[in-house]
């Protein structure tokens, strides 16, 4: 009878210690509004310990970026922490540079840790941002660069058309501002066409 | 007797962790420079640490402007990285000082914080200064607006010149 009680107590204790230990949740996210070829791509990994004891020998390793498609600007893709305290989190950032445009599937990184001292190694995965498009440099520039040269050259052309010189008044009124190419209708039309060209080329695939 | 001494020494070595004397660091820093593409400003400090006493797995803790985090270790011996992020508005340009503490000085730092003592008096193992130039948000006035305004101005000048000539 007493053996039964002892056995039951041990079983309960075993159940209790089974739930203790560290538990890590990891997320991987892109801190970019746009992913552009040749510009920085920022990745952030957050690891939260929601368990009751510290996680030991935590290793984060991300092999999902082939070196020929992504260059590393700053940060390391394989890192480790000695311990992550319970109810705390750590964050890790890496900056990459995409070398090719197109679609890319951002998959999970893997996290391995010891839930308890002398315990087994637990392997988990971070969340995955999913499929994203990496814009080509030209497309991004068409939409977002200031187009200084375009605007400057257009304004120069307009200035050339408009004639500011004050000619002496003769019997014949000066016609330079009334010919078809110098009327305000033409100027409006010209500006409208120019803007249309910029918009059309920026939405072209 | 000898066995007891050896066991005691072994225990001491395990408990204290490794400390670093005369650290030599090679740091490199990265900060976000383009706020149009990135949604948050990110700071990364990578460094290689070499200790005079050959200590290899030194545990480091970093403190930046009152925020503390453990320092990530790379796969290679002696490579460490600290990274933090904040929204663009809060990431003002200037110099950020990152102080690195080892186990001992970190625990005395935490103790000083708990007791509200002077935190500045705890000496870090070493510190790194990060220069943030500020992230570029795009031109203040978009160029299309500027071009439209200049266009309107030119039209007005031309119209008034025409009126003057024809008047």
Q: What is the ipTM of this complex?
A: 0.77
Which stretches of chain B are DSSP H helices?
2-16, 103-114, 143-166
Contacts of A82 in chain B (CB under 8 A): 57, 59, 70, 73
Q: Which of A74, A154, A187 sits opposite B46 (nearest CB)?
A: A74
* Residues B55 and B117 both lie in one domain: yes
Contacts of B155 in chain A (CB under 8 A): 184, 187
How far is the C-alpha of A138 from the C-alpha of B112, rounded, in Å?
54
A153 touches chain B (CB under 8 A): no
* Residues B81 and B125 both lie in one domain: yes
Closest CA to A125 of A108, A142, A104: A108
How far lies A131's CA from each of A45, A106, A107, in Å? Answer: 17, 6, 8
A196 touches chain B (CB under 8 A): no
Quote the domain boundaries for residue B98: 1-136
**In chain B, residues 20-79 whose CB comes closer than 8 Å to chain A:** 28, 30, 32-34, 36-40, 42, 44, 46, 57, 59, 69-70, 72-75, 79
> Full-prediction pTM beyond 0.80?
no
The highest-confidence range among A154-168, B32-46, B131-145, by mean pLDDT, is: B32-46
For strand B94-101 and strand B67-70, is the pairing parallel, antiparallel, or unpaired?
unpaired
* Residues B15 and B70 both lie in one domain: yes
* pLDDT tens per residue, range B37-47: 899 999 999 99
Q: Note whether B147 contacts A164, CB cutoff 8 Å.
A: no
* pLDDT tens per residue, range B63-76: 888 888 888 999 88
- Give the confidence band of B17 by pLDDT, cuts at 50, 70, 90: low
* Residues B55 and B104 both lie in one domain: yes
| Domain containing residue B1: CATH number | 2.60.40.10
Is the pLDDT confidence value at B16 over 50? no
* Residues B119 and B67 both lie in one domain: yes
**Predicted local confidence at residue B21, as pLDDT:** 80
For strand A130-135 and strand A35-36, is the pairing parallel, antiparallel, or unpaired?
parallel
């Amino acid at each position: 009878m007493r053996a039964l009680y002892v056995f039951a107590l041990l079983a309960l204790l075993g159940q209790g210690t089974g739930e203790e230990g560290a538990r890590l949740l990891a997320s991987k996210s892109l801190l970019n509004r746009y992913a552009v070829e040749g510009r920085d791509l920022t990745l952030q990994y957050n690891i939260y310990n929601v368990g009751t004891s510290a996680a030991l020998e935590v290793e984060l390793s991300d092999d999902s970026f082939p070196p020929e498609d992504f260059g590393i600007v700053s940060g390391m893709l394989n890192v480790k922490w000695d311990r992550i305290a319970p109810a705390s989190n750590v964050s890790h950032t890496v900056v990459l540079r995409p070398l090719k445009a197109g679609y890319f599937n951002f998959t999970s990184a893997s996290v391995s840790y010891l839930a308890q001292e002398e315990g087994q190694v637990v392997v988990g995965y971070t969340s995955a941002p999913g499929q994203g498009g990496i814009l080509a440099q030209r497309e991004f520039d068409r939409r977002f660069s200031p187009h200084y040269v375009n605007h400057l050259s257009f304004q120069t052309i307009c200035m050339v058309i408009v004639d500011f010189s004050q000619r002496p008044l003769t019997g014949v009124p000066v016609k330079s501002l009334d010919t078809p190419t110098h009327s305000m209708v033409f100027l409006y039309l010209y500006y409208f066409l120019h803007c249309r060209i910029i918009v059309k080329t920026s939405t072209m695939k | 007797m000898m066995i007891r001494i050896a066991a005691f020494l072994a225990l001491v070595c395990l408990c204290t962790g490794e400390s670093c004397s005369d650290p030599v660091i090679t740091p490199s820093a990265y900060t976000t420079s383009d706020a149009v593409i990135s949604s948050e400003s990110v700071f990364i400090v990578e460094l290689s640490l070499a200790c005079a006493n050959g200590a290899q797995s030194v545990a480091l803790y970093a403190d930046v402007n009152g925020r503390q985090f453990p320092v990530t270790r790379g796969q290679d011996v002696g490579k460490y990285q600290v990274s933090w992020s904040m929204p663009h508005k809060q990431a003002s340009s200037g110099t950020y000082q990152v102080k690195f503490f080892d186990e001992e000085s970190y625990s005395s730092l935490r103790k000083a914080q708990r007791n509200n003592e002077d935190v500045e008096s705890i000496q870090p193992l070493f510190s790194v200064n990060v220069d943030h130039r500020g992230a570029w948000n795009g031109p203040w006035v978009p160029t299309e607006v500027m071009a439209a305004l200049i266009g309107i101005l030119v039209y007005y000048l031309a119209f008034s010149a025409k009126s003057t000539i024809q008047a």
